[in-house]
Structure 1
Amino acid sequence: MSSPVVLSKKDNEEDITVDLYPFIREYKGGRIQRLLRSPFVAASEDAAANRGVATRDVVIDKTTGVSARLFLPSVAAATGERLPVIMYVHGGSFCTESAFCRTYHNYARSLATRTGALVVSVEYRLAPEHPVPRAYDDAWAALQWVASRFDPWLSSYADPGRMFLAGDSAGGNIVYNTAVRAASHDFVDIEGLVIVHPYFWGVERLSASCETVWDGVAMFTPEVVDRVWPFVTAGRLGNDDRRINPLDEEISSLTCRRVLVAIAEKDILRDRGRRLAARMRVCCAWADDENAVTLVVSEAEDHGFHLYNPLRATSEILMESIVQFINQRTALPLPAALLPEPELHLHASQTRKKKASSAAAEMDSVHPIIGVPTRPSMTRNTTSCL
């Protein structure tokens, strides 16, 4: 997954009509090959057999097949206190991966364990068989289902006042757009939004950014990213669509109280994530609070590194940043030792502030982004991640 590949066509090889390595290929005749996938993992309500987390699958909508896997941390549940709820939407460029696969099962289990939250990991329909906006519709149906607290685990353990939406890559895009949609409804109160390496793009390249020239190392080239949205929307939408190139009026409509945006230094999508965080800081009325918008930067890492290398120190620090974000009580001041700095850059061995790049400075006159606590994981053992 380190870089795109150049294919050599053999005499007997099928014609490839769409190549979105490392996610998916489509062949002449319509055959689909999903490249990025991991084995299915069964759910189990036996927490002892699943590292302290009970899991259960539910069907949200029988007509569409939208479903979810619930993760209930036994230690947190045993306290008798209501738990925060994280509705998680997986990545995979809208066209691959699953809430039930090993990669996302392990990540959601770790997230539940570390945050003490009840995690609802959404299984949505994938393109190209189910073109966008089906994924958005499915996430919306899932949010309504979670908010209803009809499920016995939600009714027994969930704190409706501590609701979070989280996702990575395409999932980060989906939960952002779900939060925008929820802002015009009053059935749910979303406390926070966590978007990790989110997929946002546009027709025009951001000047002085990594989008202009591929460095030969990053996982994606700009040209590959250009083709993703037209493919997953069956050619009906272009890269100027508001769902991947957000409008200021939609950003300002967000009613959640806090946002964490995580980007990776080598990720071709990083400057879009940084730009979105800056625009939230400017456009959202609630962002006047210094802890409202958190930007986490993982240096020397690429897109999705934390999913495939969960024991790496930078993965541990990113996880701990999310844990502290979820468990932060907005009504209470942070202890002096945990006061935020303007921005957090994540190294394998240390955290430090870094001067803003000229590319970031050009992005809508970027305002300072509030960071996470300065000591994110010094007392944690990296082996506890999974």
Structure 2
Amino acid sequence: MSSMQEKMIREALAAMDGNAAGSMQEKMIREALAAINGDTAGDIAVNLFPFIRKYTDGRVERLLTSSYVPASKDARGGVVMRDVVIDSGNGVSARLFLPAAATTGGGTRLPIVLYFHGGSFCTESAFCRTYHRYVSSLASRAEALVVSVEYRLAPEHPIPAAYDDAWAAFRWLESLSDPWLAEYGDRSRTFLAGDSAGGNIAYHTVARASRENGDDGSIQGLIMVHPFFWGPERLPSETIWDGTTVFPAFGVDWLWPFVTAGQADNDDPRIDPTDDDLASLSCRRVLMAVAGRDTLCDRGRRLASRMHGDVTLVESEGEDHGFHLYSPLRATSKQLMKSIVQFINQPSPPAPAPAPPMRWPATILSELDEWSTYGDDTSNSSQILLGMPTRAYKAIFADRLDTKSKTGPSSNTAVNASLTIGCRRKASKSTYGISFGRTRGYNYRGIAAAGSQRQHPFRGVLW
């Protein structure tokens, strides 16, 4: 443990008042301090209570867990489920949640949600009771086919293992190789979602898809609920700790170095994205949900404000990190679920209408026809229509577009031309805003033109 971490522990313990006495945060601090001092808990190497502890002998104790439950084959709660293997080599699997109504016919395809559970990258599971219950409810209420991914956990499998597993799951989803995805899923309405660490994983999966697939429109939306992002500097919500919130800032400081096996610190762009990373996201819409008492809430707000495009920010006042998972019947939990369901089922924005075909006024057409028969020393030239300007002719030249400048001959390019506006011919008033021009090609000096000194002139309408 670093001297800085030890100093933070001692300062936090000294700052605690009587209201925090006996809290789990006090227990976490005292056990960590005991580990430093070599006391009764001296075999603890890393203490991230209430999530995980790692001991000096290599043992890992996961503290925040819920029991595993099997997939339900009957339509309990209106949803049928089954488990699938995505990558047997890395142990990547998933639980699929399908609204039972979809199996009764009708042919309506459902939105697909690829979901990543939270748990600080090191605890919880797609198959545990907490996420089984939550994702089943999401599938039922949103009428969506949800794929809840079981990815590898740190510290046994440090980051980027979780990112790699998420990418494998996304590629598997894209292939539509599963019969439920092929028969019931609407690939054009794919959403990536997650809470806490899962929100971070969902973000990075969208970012990778944007880099590798480009803006193909395949990802309709990104949903991040209380996502884990951090940084070296403190935001306002990270400076306030009353001893009762889930995440004290000094505890979060330890998390990323721990789950990356000491290979990264809190200035890592994977938890503190750059503006370029955010600008590259190609999903159509983003929903960011934050909780008012969550230490991470200002981090989520700032991330949402830096994103481009259609971004929805949902704030749950007076709530802490992950409240919706453990108190699903609370009014704020129901409202958060409603916001997510509305986001998933929101109609897609219409595709931009194709531009109408260009139609030339009769006065211009007559002049173009006259121009095509205009005789000069370039009678073998071909007529080329390059386009119409979006601004008036005078406005173009007001911006100092010097179309009369001539470039020198080059031995490296086949066509290096100079432009003469009007070709010594005065344009009529009816052609205001259109540039008539002729280019003269210089003699090409490359190998392919050896022995030939032909010119390649052409005429056209330029803008």
Identify the TM-score tier after normalising by the shorter chain: 0.7 to 0.9
Counterpart pick for 1:61 among 87, 97, 105: 87
Q: Distance in 2 between matches of 1:226 and 1:321?
A: 31
Aligned twin of 2:165:
138
Which structure has greater helix proportion? 2
Q: Distance in 1 between matches of 2:266 and 2:88?
A: 32
Q: How does 1:289-304 map to 2 (within 5 A)?
A: 292-304=310-322
Aligned twin of 2:133:
106
Counterpart pick for 1:305 among 323, 328, 344: 323
- The Cα of 1:217 is off from its aligned counterpart by 2.6
Aligned twin of 1:29:
57
Q: Distance in 1 between matches of 2:26 and 2:150?
A: 29
Q: How does 1:87-106 map to 2 (within 5 A)?
A: 87-106=114-133
Q: Name structure 2 gaps, 5 residues minimum.
A: 1-22, 351-463
- Tell me the alpha carbon deviations over residues 247-276 of structure 1, each in whole angstroms, 9 at most, x when there is no partner: 100100011111000000000000010001
- Tell me the alpha carbon deviations over residues 346-373 of structure 1, each in whole angstroms, 9 at most, x when there is no partner: xxxxxxxxxxxxxxxxxxxxxxxxxxxx
- The Cα of 1:161 is off from its aligned counterpart by 0.4
Q: How does 1:244-255 map to 2 (within 5 A)?
A: 244-255=271-282
Counterpart pick for 2:231 among 185, 202, 205: 202
Q: How many residues align structurally?
A: 319
Would the aligned equivalents of 1:199 and 1:244 in 2 still touch at CA under 8 Å?
yes
Would the aligned equivalents of 1:93 and 1:228 in 2 still touch at CA under 8 Å?
yes
Counterpart pick for 2:178 among 141, 147, 151: 151
Aligned twin of 1:124:
151
Letter of the structure 2 residue corresponding to residue 54 of structure 1: V
TM-score normalised by structure 1 residue count = 0.80
- The Cα of 1:188 is off from its aligned counterpart by 7.2
Q: Please, what is the CA RMSD of the aligned residues?
A: 1.7
After TM superposition, the structure 1 stretch with the greater mean CA deviation from structure 2, 239-248 or 214-223, is 214-223
Q: Name structure 1 gaps, 5 residues minimum.
A: 333-386
Q: Determine which structure has greater relative contact order: mean sequence separation of CA pairs < 8 Å that are 6+ residues apart, divided by chain length.
A: 1
Percent of aligned pairs sharing the same letter: 62
After TM superposition, the structure 1 stretch with the greater mean CA deviation from structure 2, 25-34 or 119-128, is 25-34
- The Cα of 1:77 is off from its aligned counterpart by 4.1
* Higher gyration radius (CA): 2
* 1:179 aligns to 2:206 (yes or no): yes
Q: Distance in 2 between matches of 1:19 and 1:244?
A: 21
- The Cα of 1:184 is off from its aligned counterpart by 1.7
Would the aligned equivalents of 1:76 and 1:117 in 2 still touch at CA under 8 Å?
no
Paired residue secondary structure (1:87)? strand
* 1:46 aligns to 2:74 (yes or no): yes
Would the aligned equivalents of 1:86 and 1:119 in 2 still touch at CA under 8 Å?
yes
Q: Distance in 1 between matches of 2:182 and 2:201?
A: 25
Aligned twin of 1:70:
96
